[in-house]
């Protein structure tokens, strides 16, 4: 009888640890939201220092001079293209909705790769936007393509 109790306790302990292991494995497979939150927070600081003057605090731009960052294909589309705009600047006339924008955006290539990744992640997740984060590796690749 004692052996049966010990065997039952051992079996329960095994099942419990197997369940805990499976749960831990499931959690590890999910992307970390704390990393995204930290990147967005750092990006907001960069945006407040560098971008807010032209794109405004609400991300809606300034009249027909500086384009909005809210729900546009430039922001929500290709991450390499977006990183390239920050690194190389932008000097094209573009139409967004029923407005035309033609103001020049100077290169921001003095920013570190992490700062660019963070500010782009912030912009892609602010002003009503919801898009994937921009990584440092993606910025490094865009910077290498610039040379």
For 79, phi then psi, to 5°, come to -65, -40
pLDDT for 5 equals 54
pLDDT for 28 equals 40
pLDDT < 70: residue spans in the chain: 1-32, 147
Domain count, the chain: 2
pLDDT for 63 equals 81
The answer to whether residues 58 and 81 belong to one domain is yes
The answer to whether residues 82 and 105 belong to one domain is yes
**Number of Cβ atoms within 10 Å of the Cβ of 139:** 26
pLDDT for 20 equals 44
The answer to whether residues 77 and 130 belong to one domain is yes
pTM of the model: 0.77
pLDDT for 26 equals 45
For CA atoms 43, 45, 50, 53, give the dihedral sign: positive
pLDDT for 53 equals 95
Question: For residue 27, what are the CA distances in angstroms to 6, 17, 79?
Answer: 32, 15, 27
pLDDT for 65 equals 87
The answer to whether residues 73 and 3 belong to one domain is no
The answer to whether residues 44 and 10 belong to one domain is no
The answer to whether residues 7 and 52 belong to one domain is no
Domain ranges, residue 4: 1-30
- What is the rounded CA–CA span in Å between residue 65 and residue 62? 6
Return the structure tokens found at 25. Answer: 């494995």
The answer to whether residues 16 and 57 belong to one domain is no
Indicate the DSSP class of residue 134. Answer: P
Contact (CB, 8 A) for 71 and 127: yes
The answer to whether residues 121 and 109 belong to one domain is yes
């Amino acid at each position: 009888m004692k052996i049966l109790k010990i065997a039952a306790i051992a079996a329960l302990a095994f099942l419990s640890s197997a369940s805990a292991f499976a749960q831990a494995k499931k959690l590890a497979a999910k992307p970390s939201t704390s990393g995204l939150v930290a990147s967005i927070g750092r990006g907001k600081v960069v945006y407040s220092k560098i971008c807010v003057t032209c794109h405004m605090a609400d991300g809606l731009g300034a009249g027909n001079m500086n384009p909005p960052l809210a729900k546009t294909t430039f922001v929500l589309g290709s991450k390499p293209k977006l990183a390239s705009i920050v690194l190389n600047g932008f000097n094209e006339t573009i139409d967004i909705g029923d407005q035309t924008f033609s103001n020049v955006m100077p290169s921001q290539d003095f920013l570190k790769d992490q700062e660019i990744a963070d500010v782009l992640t912030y912009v892609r997740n602010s002003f009503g936007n919801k898009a994937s984060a921009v990584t440092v590796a993606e910025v490094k690749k865009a910077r290498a393509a610039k040379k």
